[in-house]
Amino acid sequence: MIRFSIDSSSSVPVFQQVIQAIKLEILSGRLQNGDQLPPIRELAKILKLNPNTVAKAYYTLEEEGFIESKRGSGNWVNTKNMKLDSFRRGMLEDEFRLFLDRALMLGAGLEDIKNLMERYAANE
Amino acid sequence: MNENVLEVRNLKVRFGKKVALGDIDVQFRKGESVVIAGSNGAGKSTLLRCLAGVIHPDKGQILYAKDVPREKIAFISDGLSLFENMTLKQGLDFHLRTFHIHDPDESFFQQLKFSLNQKIKSLSVGERTLYHLSLLLSQKPAVLLIDEIIHAVDPYLREKFLEAVIEAIDKYGTTMITINHTFSEIQNIPERVLMMEGGRFILDEKSESLKAKIKKVVTDVELPAEIPFVFKKESVVGKEYFVYPFQDDFRRKYPYDFQSLELGEIIKALIGGEYAKKRMS
Amino acid sequence: MIALPAVIFLAGIIPKQPYVAIFMPTFQSGLLFWALFLGVSLFSSERGQKGMEYLLSLPYSRLELLGIKVLPRLLSILFFYLVFLALYYQGGRDFVALAVFSFSFLYFVLFFISLCLAPLSDNFLVLSLVSLFALVVFNEIFFLIAWLLMRMAGITYFSWSKISGTFLSLEWAAESWLSFLILILAAIFILLPLGLAMLFSFKKFDVRPSKIYGRRYFKFLAPSLALGILCASLTVWLGIDRGSRYFYLTQDQKLIESNYISTKVYDHDSVSKLMIDFYRYSYWDAPPFLYFFHWGEGLVRLNTDTGATEMIYQQPKFKGKRNWGFSGRFKYENIISLFEPGRAPDEIQLVLVDVLTKNNSRILFKHDFFRDSGPPKILDTTVRQGKRFWLAGFSYSTKHPLRLWEDGRVENLEYKEQLLDKSSTDYVNGMLILTSANGMIYLKEKDNAFIAIKKISQEDKYWRWNWSRFPVNRDSAGIIELYGKRKDRLVRLNPETLEFEDLGEWKKIEDGYSVSFHYLDPSEYYYAEIDRRGQNLKIFRLEGRQMMLLKIFKDFGAPNRDDRFEISKGGILIQRGKKVQVYSLPDFQEIKYKQLG
């Protein structure tokens, strides 16, 4: 059900990676409103993470309103009050900025990127 | 989350004239996982032994929180010290009895499927390590002190052990203090890195902030003096610089690829740096 | 473990079997090794199985750990000690290599020392050697303290061998419980620092090299040992008996004062202090000589005019059980005769010491009666048909008296009358007197055999005649009269008719009286009566059936005061508290000694 792994050498902190991954699962629809998230202990075991890290990620997700924590029974996806589209756009922007950073580092100009995007759009 | 489980004040230990620990102060929080890194002879094992009560410090105090009795402190030394003439069954019974464990958590012990009538000394190093660890986990430890020993365990069982530890941290709020444990599967557990050298702490950082502060640069040329580094490796491919402390400015100013690192590599570099320093002086 | 009760049982039912003689010394030395082993092996099991760190990580304090480790060992030590005692009292008594006290002492001290030193090293062999060395050092300190202090106190007779003798067999200490206690206390003071240093340093015992523990241990041990030695010295010093003085009055009215420290000879207006390196006992005198036995060594003669001493008879070094010490002597003419054991168990040697020539000659006698026996008493000596013989009798025995001829012949004077139980033999006024719990028999010699001339049966067993200062060291002059107690009366046994003659009321001990008879020579007899309630001493002279009150000494026998008196040929010596007085006999003139405080 959870289909992601952690990149230990990434500059993105591990708990952020967990958050990103779960958000991605939700946005992609693999996790639906009302689905139960894996218990902290199980996810920590699967990902070989400190359970505190997973807990921190869940806590942040709850703060942001993606999930709902029910005492004793676990964590549940809660997207009822969420505007998923705007979050999707926000995430896209984040990912795009990351991509731009790397592209610029490779020495590409904005023109190159524009051309590349047009070519991909035409193919697909 | 923020209450201390253990506080160490002015700890001093000498081995005759040699200072093993010189005036150490450190706190550990409840549920925290810490890796103590450092070169050989840095004082890591001595510190761990002090925490376990095996070494009595010459000066200073080791204060455990009131709700942590000695029964809840679990320790495994690099000597894998047990009463090895006992059978596994006797060893387990003895351990449970002397540590007054009335409701042991034997789930990890069961997973190992030992034959209980063999003597402890007949076990291989890896098996013995696991056996000992299983005794400690049965204690439902509040503090788990593990010396540099996991390397002897094969990767499969290492993972099993890791899962058991994760469970303990979550279930019992165990504080885990390990030494130099930087295997790839384990490296996401420690939240904090303590670096020791010459009987003192030279670094105390959260894992995440340490990751942010240390980057690797591979290049053919010398790095400009403005970029500090802790360790340099040279090979036919080029020079590897371990930049520390890293500042975000560096990316803008210099054209190098500042790569992020795994915790294991970071610790390796820091220890290597210390060796390099020693060679210089 | 299961075999041990069996051993105890076997030793109990067949105690005299020869294997016991081998078993007991082996068992003793085994136990000593066991004590050493249990001590030094305190942590060997942890060290052997690399369990030290594990042990120290257990949730116990160091002192608790020490308790857990020591307790089973202590129990084992006590258990085997009880086994030893059981074997000892079940018949092993005669076969032990070490006396029970010295063994017990060594056993526990060795265990204690090795236990205290056990954390100092990981090496078993080193620990054993160090422990044994420490034991030797302990002994040396112990002896040195005793020796030094006794020398300082002025005690003249204390050689090294005597001190070790003191330690090993406690002959000296056994004389009083107090001195025994003092020795034990001194030993504890010396040993205690070892244990205290261990308790102190073990609180910080850990897996660091044992040198670090050792440094802490000795840092504490050194001052506490010094303090312990000081306390031990103080105890011994306070315990040295300087107070009690013993007086002896010679025939020429010289007063000899002796205590542990020195000997003083008082003349009428002078005193000379002599340092005499002898352990003196059993005095008698023949002016100007004072004779006494030097314990375990021989017979010494002191010239009271010059202070010179010489040993006129040297006792051979006896081995094993046939060491009699001195059993008294019989003096006739210029000869002092006494017995010493022979080489074989059925042999005995009569030693004749000529006091003029100081010549010692020995006659060997062989008889079955000498087996398993203490020395007989020499009762009399006579020359018959040109040959001398000595009449010898046994104490508390069914053996008959013997006549020992100077050519080495032994004649068994078997009498027809046989007593039902063991009796002691005496010889008074030409009569053999056999005394047993059931009665007495008087025998007289007739045609080379002894026949009964009088029997005093069971109903009269209350007749007791040797209720007295009957001399241990006899003279050929002998005695004639017999006085004693019969029922509640003081009686005389008429030497002619062998009938009892009533002299008066026998003063009972329950009423606070103690009485004694004093036989000085064939014609001089005294009777003394101490009335503890009235606090006085009455001296009577006995002449036949007459009893004359000579003198009443008032203020005698007060409680908490060791009052003594002695009647001898020189006069009467009275010690009341610290006051010493001498009165001549028979006129009771006080003899003054100017220098006597």
Q: For the segment C31-83, what is each residue's pLDDT rounded down to a tens digit?
A: 999 999 999 999 988 888 888 999 999 999 999 999 999 999 999 999 999 99
Q: Is the pLDDT of residue C8 over 70?
A: no
Given a contact cutoff of 8 angstroms between Cβ atoms, the answer to whether C138 and C225 are in contact is no
Partner residue facing A9 (CB), from B167, B257, B261: B261
Which domain-ending residue is among B155, B182, B206? B206
Given a contact cutoff of 8 angstroms between Cβ atoms, the answer to whether B171 and B102 are in contact is no
- Chain B residue numbers with beta carbons less than 8 Å from the beta carbon of A101 are none
Give residues 64 to 123 of A whose Cβ lies within 8 Å of B: 105
CATH topology of domain A14-77: Arc Repressor Mutant, subunit A (1.10.10)
> Which domain, by its residues, includes B211?
207-280
How far, in Å, are C397, C421, C481, C517 from residue C460 at the CA level?
A: 21, 16, 19, 20
Residues B58 and B88 in one domain: yes
Element (H, E) at C60: none
Return d(Cα C412, Cα C138) in angstroms, integer.
54
**Which DSSP category does A41 fall into?**
H
Q: What is the pLDDT at residue C401? A: 85
Q: How many domains does chain C have?
A: 1
Residues B224 and B176 in one domain: no
Tokens 């702490």 appear where? Answer: B201
Q: Mean of the pLDDT values across residues C375-380?
A: 84
- Chain B residue numbers with beta carbons less than 8 Å from the beta carbon of C60 are 70, 98
- Kindly give the interhelix angle for C100-117 and C62-89, rounded to the nearest 10 degrees: 160
Given a contact cutoff of 8 angstroms between Cβ atoms, the answer to whether B145 and B177 are in contact is yes
Q: Which of C404, C355, C400 is nearest to C378 (CA)?
A: C404
Which position has the higher pLDDT, C171 or C298?
A: C298
Chains A and B touch (3+ CB pairs under 8 A): yes
- Chain B residue numbers with beta carbons less than 8 Å from the beta carbon of A48 are 159, 162, 166, 185-186, 188-189
Which position has the higher pLDDT, C329 or B70?
A: B70
Residues B129 and B261 in one domain: no
Residues B190 and B220 in one domain: no
Q: Does A40 touch chain B (CB under 8 A)?
A: yes
Q: What is the pLDDT at residue C194? A: 95
Q: Which of B116, B148, B152 is nearest to B135 (CA)?
A: B116
For the segment B15-54, what is each residue's pLDDT rounded down to a tens digit? 988 899 999 999 999 999 999 999 888 999 999 999 999 9
Q: What is the pLDDT at residue C2? A: 53
Q: What is the pLDDT at residue C4? A: 59
Cβ separation B56–C206 shorter than 8 A: yes
Cβ separation B83–C54 shorter than 8 A: yes
**Which DSSP category does C219 fall into?**
H
Look at chain A and count its residues: 124
Share of chain C above pLDDT 90, in %: 25
**Which DSSP category does C400 fall into?**
P
Tokens for C300?
């010494």
- Shortest Cα distance from B275 to chain C (angstroms)? 26
Q: Does B246 touch chain A (CB under 8 A)?
A: no
Q: Mean of the pLDDT values across residues C90-112?
A: 83
Q: What is the pLDDT at residue C92? A: 72
Most confident segment among A27-31, B264-268, C342-346? B264-268
Residues B181 and B63 in one domain: yes
Cβ separation B55–C52 shorter than 8 A: no
Which domain-ending residue is among B206, B231, B260? B206
Q: What is the pLDDT at residue C578? A: 79
Q: Does B208 touch chain A (CB under 8 A)?
A: yes
**B touches which chains (3+ CB pairs under 8 A)?**
A, C
- Chain A residue numbers with beta carbons less than 8 Å from the beta carbon of B211 are 11, 13
Q: What is the pLDDT at residue C164? A: 44
Q: Is the pLDDT of residue C427 over 60?
A: yes
- Chain C residue numbers with beta carbons less than 8 Å from the beta carbon of B77 are 53, 57
Q: How many domains does chain B have?
A: 2
Tokens for C82?
């009880």
Residues B9 and B82 in one domain: yes
DSSP of B190-222 = -SEEEEEETTEEEEEEEHHHHHHH-EEEEESSP
Q: Is the pLDDT of residue C166 over 60?
A: no
- Answer whether residue C545 is part of any domain: no
Closest C-chain CA to B13:
C208
Chains B and C touch (3+ CB pairs under 8 A): yes
- Chain A residue numbers with beta carbons less than 8 Å from the beta carbon of B163 are 45
Q: Does B266 touch chain A (CB under 8 A)?
A: no
- Chain C residue numbers with beta carbons less than 8 Å from the beta carbon of B52 are 53, 57
Q: What is the pLDDT at residue C434? A: 80
Phi-psi bin for C447: left (phi > 0), alpha (psi -120 to 50), beta? Answer: left
Cβ separation A44–B170 shorter than 8 A: yes
Which domain-ending residue is among B157, B182, B206? B206
> Which domain, by its residues, includes C52?
3-239
> How many CB pairs below 8 A link A and B?
60
- Of A7-11, B264-268, C224-228, the one with minimum mean pLDDT is A7-11
For the segment A35-44, what is each residue's pLDDT rounded down to a tens digit? 888 888 999 9
DSSP of chain B = ---EEEEEEEEEEEETTEEEEEEEEEEEETT-EEEEEE-TTSSHHHHHHHHHTSS--SEEEEEE-TT--GGGEEEE-TT--S-TTSBHHHHHHHHHHHTT-SS---HHHHHH---TTSBGGGS-HHHHHHHHHHHHHHT--SEEEE-S-GGGS-HHHHHHHHHHHHHHHHHH--EEEEES---TTTTTS-SEEEEEETTEEEEEEEHHHHHHH-EEEEESSPPPTTS-EEEEEE-SS-EEEEESS--THHHHH-----B---HHHHHHHHHHHHHHHHHH-
Residues B60 and B31 in one domain: yes
Strands lying side by side in the sheet with B4-15? B18-29, B4-15, B59-64
Q: Is the pLDDT of residue C396 over 90?
A: no
Tokens for C243?
């107070």
Q: What are the backbone angles phi and psi of residue B278, rounded to the nearest 5°?
A: -60, -40
Query: pLDDT tens digits, chain B, 281 residues: what are they?
Result: 468 999 999 999 999 888 999 999 999 999 999 999 998 889 999 999 999 999 999 999 999 999 999 999 999 998 899 999 999 999 999 999 999 999 999 888 988 888 999 999 999 988 999 999 999 999 999 999 999 888 888 888 888 888 989 999 999 999 999 997 777 778 889 999 999 999 999 999 999 899 999 999 988 888 888 889 989 888 888 889 999 889 888 888 888 888 888 888 899 899 988 888 887 76
Q: What is the pLDDT at residue C12? A: 54
Select from A4, A6, A7, A9 the residue whose CB has the most chain B CBs within 10 Å, as the one to mutate to test that interface: A9
Q: Mean of the pLDDT values across residues A80-109?
A: 80
Burial of B88 (0-12, 13-18, 19+ CB in 10 A): buried
Q: Is the pLDDT of residue C245 over 50?
A: yes
Return d(Cα B223, Cα B245) in angstroms, integer.
14
Tokens for C112?
């204690």
Task: Write the CATH number for B168.
Answer: 3.40.50.300
Does ipTM come in above 0.90? yes
Q: Is the pLDDT of residue C172 over 50?
A: no
Q: Mean of the pLDDT values across residues C522-539?
A: 88
- Of A14-23, C463-472, C559-568, the one with minimum mean pLDDT is C463-472
Q: Mean of the pLDDT values across residues C169-191?
A: 68
Select from A12, A48, A102 the residue whose CB has the most chain B CBs within 10 Å, as the one to mutate to test that interface: A48
- Answer whether residue C132 is part of any domain: yes
